[in-house]
């Protein structure tokens, strides 16, 4: 990621292995993804299924039992299609900030 992306962030990102379910134009149904990092205002989603930049997606924060914890919308800000598989995915800007409690739960689950 470029320094420009880092400079635009309002909140510091923390590493995460949290689980999201996402709904995008890439697949007909929802698919589950792991996060690489998270903040109150955005996240990096690890996946090979990458929606278009500026697409609005729906995401669901899942708890330890894969039950819905929080639902929201986000804009795809950028994509990373090259490099090691663990580094591929896309960055999202959340329409509504996550509660600090949810960010803490998703931090290094």
The CATH fold of domain 3-106 = Thrombin, subunit H (2.40.10)
* Sequence spans of domains, the chain: 3-106
**Which residues, including other chains, have CB under 8 Å from residue 64's CB and lie 6 or more apart?**
109
Identify the pLDDT of residue 73.
97
pTM above 0.75, yes or no: yes
Q: Averaged over 64-87, what is the pLDDT?
A: 91
**CA distances (Å), origin 98, targets 25, 29, 39, 49, 78:** 23, 24, 8, 24, 20
Q: What is the pLDDT of residue 8?
A: 65
Give the integer Cα–Cα distance in Å for 38 and 17.
9
The predicted pLDDT at position 3 comes to 47
Quick one: pLDDT at residue 17? Answer: 83
Percentage with pLDDT > 70 across the chain: 90
Q: Which two tokens stand for residue 3?
A: 């320094």
Do residues 21 and 62 make contact, with C-beta atoms less than 8 angstroms apart?
yes
Query: What local confidence, expressed as pLDDT, does residue 7 receive?
Result: 53
């Amino acid at each position: 990621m470029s320094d420009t992306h880092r400079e635009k962030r309002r909140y510091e990102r923390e590493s995460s292995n949290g689980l999201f379910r996402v709904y995008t134009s890439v697949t007909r149904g929802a698919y589950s993804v792991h996060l690489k990092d998270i903040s109150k205002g955005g996240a990096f989603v690890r996946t090979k299924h990458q929606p278009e930049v500026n697409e609005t997606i729906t995401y669901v924060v899942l708890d330890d039992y894969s039950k819905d914890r929080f639902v929201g919308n986000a804009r795809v800000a950028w994509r990373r299609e090259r490099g090691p598989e663990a580094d591929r995915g896309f960055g999202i800007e959340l329409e509504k900030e996550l509660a600090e409690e949810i960010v803490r739960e998703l931090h290094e689950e």
